[in-house]
Structure 1
Amino acid sequence: MKRYLFIGLVSALLLAGCEQKPSLQKYFVENTENKEFVAVDIAPSFINVDKVTLTGEEKAALESFKKINVLAFKADSTNQKEFDAERTKISTILKDKSYQELMKVGSGKEGGAIYFVGEDEHIEEFVLFANKKENGFAVVRVLGEDMNPTHVMNLMSLMQKANVDMEQLKPLQALMQP
């Protein structure tokens, strides 16, 4: 009898310990195969630094960067209700206390915002959320280890001076076309 009680108690604790709240990672996984979305995973190798001399800061930024996940929803006249519903889901997820807002531009209905997960000098994830009713929205997750805002700025600078592998970005071209 004690054995069954023990097994039941452990099972209850395990089930209660599993968080059921939505997260960006779950949202990405759920919508990767959805035909309304374009999903792209970008590896660090898309920044070809073979012929570039890196500064110490750029090396540190590159080493802290693990990958980029992009999930984009292309809006049109036929899917505005779904666009609004999906945008609301993203906004709700980003209101969670684990996502700290770094910067916001535009209004709540159109514009963008940058969030981060972690502590100021030990950031695990940067999130860019941009949306416009006519075009759709995109959520970009920059994943890394011990990143900081300076690393992201150095990474952006590095992308401008290094060769970028555009093949990894091909799926996003459909969003850019009218």
Structure 2
Amino acid sequence: MKTFPSLLVLLFVVIGMTSCSDKNSLHNYILDHAEKKGYSSSTIPMSLLKQESMQLTDKQEEALAAVDRINLLFYRPESINQENFKAERNKIKTILKQEKYEELINLGNNGVIKYVGTDDSIDEIVVFLSDKNMGFAVTRIMGDDMTLEKFMELYKMTEQRDIPLNFNLGSLSNFM
């Protein structure tokens, strides 16, 4: 008789764990596709962005401190298969249509910048860039205490090339 309550508790735990798993998430998409042919992924270490030789303003320091990690996923097949490209691009667009993603900047057919959270507390910023000849790139910027102001400060830093990105970003450099 004690077996039944134990099985019932186990059943609820399994149901709870599977219902909390979002298989249609950007995180899962990146993990599932990182090693597939035509894809390439990378994580930019924060130590690369926060080099001691850099002279940063207090605002720049604060903006960099708000970022925990940056994940990149590129899709560039050896020969562009338009059918596959469109299917994979549409999967990402579908994921980004979820309610949790707020639109920041719409780049039309070339992509979108979205965020998760509120204006005062952003958990994640997603930059999705797409080009029918080059493929697409997805960048996830995760952090704590990020705000739109801090994101714009990071954007300005990259525009001014204050951040020494001395590694090859491959397709992302071409997108920019």
Identity value in percent: 34
CA distance in 1, matches of 2:133, 2:161: 32
TM-score norm. by structure 1 comes to 0.84
Task: Name the residue aligned to 2:73.
Answer: 71
Out of 85, 88, 94, the residue aligned to residue 86 of structure 1 is 88
- On the 8 A contact 1:49/1:162 being kept in 2, the answer is no
Task: Name the residue aligned to 1:30.
Answer: 32
Task: Name the residue aligned to 1:147.
Answer: 146
Give, in angstroms, the shift of residue 20 of structure 1.
4.0
Gaps of 5+ in 2: none
Q: AA paired with 1:14?
A: V
The CA RMSD measured in Å over matched residues stands at 2.3
Task: Name the residue aligned to 2:170.
Answer: 172
SS of residue paired to 1:87: helix
- On the 8 A contact 1:76/1:135 being kept in 2, the answer is no
CA deviations over 1:79-136 (Å, ceiling 9, x no partner) = 2222111111111111111111122122xxx211111111211111100111121111
Aligned pair count reads 171
- On the 8 A contact 2:38/2:76 being kept in 1, the answer is yes
Gaps of 5+ in 1: none
Give, in angstroms, the shift of residue 49 of structure 1.
4.1
Q: Give 1:116-127 correspondences, 5 Å limit.
A: 116-127=115-126
CA distance in 1, matches of 2:82, 2:69: 31
CA distance in 1, matches of 2:43, 2:153: 21
- On the 8 A contact 1:24/1:93 being kept in 2, the answer is yes
Quick one: structure 1 residues 162 and 59, their matched pair in 2 at CA, closer, same or farther if it must change by over 3 Å?
same
Q: Specify which structure has the bigger relative contact order, considering alpha-carbon pairs within 8 angstroms and separated by 6 or more residues.
A: 1
